[in-house]
Structure 1
């Protein structure tokens, strides 16, 4: 089996980064839901809440903040990967590369460009 072309490598890189970004968005959503639930439980318990509840809440907030911090560098890597992919597509088109590879690359390019801005901190 021949080594993958630079276009294939660039395509897979963008796909992987977009998948990773989706995973972190889903994780952030779950953490926000968990935080809301914990805050509600803490308010409902009022003065009768155990001392551990406040600690657990702070730990969840810290985990959420760490997840949010992942987005800026990840989005920078996605932008760089998209630029590399654009260059590889241009090179493949000028060299009349495989139409199937170019089609997959263009689909990955659209995925990479469709990634939203990072969530507000």
Structure 2
């Protein structure tokens, strides 16, 4: 089996980064829920450990938020490379199914937005 071409590699790169973005968004939502739950519990509790756990969860939440800026930059770069590979592949007469898959991935990559923080 021949090695995948540059178009396939660029397509898979965008798909992987979009999937990674989705995982981080899901993690961010879960951590936000945990922080809100802990804040509510802290108002009702006098447990000293609860405030420590809350601080740890808030720190984890901030660390997750910090992932999005560099990830977004990598997605933008991957989308640009994919656009270049699509243009090159179309001029070289690449298989239509590869070009279609690349264009679908391109739309996915362009659809990724910065998360609301």
TM-score of the aligned structures, taking structure 1 as reference length: 0.95
Judge conservation of contact 1:75–1:118 (CA < 8 Å) in 2: no
Deviation at residue 44 of structure 1 after TM alignment: 1.6
CA deviations on 1:56-86 (whole Å, 9 max, x unpaired) are 0000000000000000000000000000000
1:61 and 2:58 are equivalent in the alignment: yes
Alpha-carbon distance between aligned partners in 1 of 2:100 and 2:44, rounded to the nearest angstrom: 55
2:91 aligned residue (72, 94, 98)? 94
Query: CA RMSD, aligned part only?
Result: 0.7
Structure 1 counterpart of 2:32: 32
Judge conservation of contact 2:8–2:98 (CA < 8 Å) in 1: yes
- Corresponding pairs, count: 117
1:113 aligned residue (89, 110, 113)? 110
**Structure 1 unmatched ranges of 5 or more:** none
SS in 2 for 1:117: coil
Alpha-carbon distance between aligned partners in 2 of 1:15 and 1:82, rounded to the nearest angstrom: 10
Structure 1 counterpart of 2:21: 21
Deviation at residue 119 of structure 1 after TM alignment: 3.3
Structure 1 counterpart of 2:47: 50
Deviation at residue 118 of structure 1 after TM alignment: 3.6
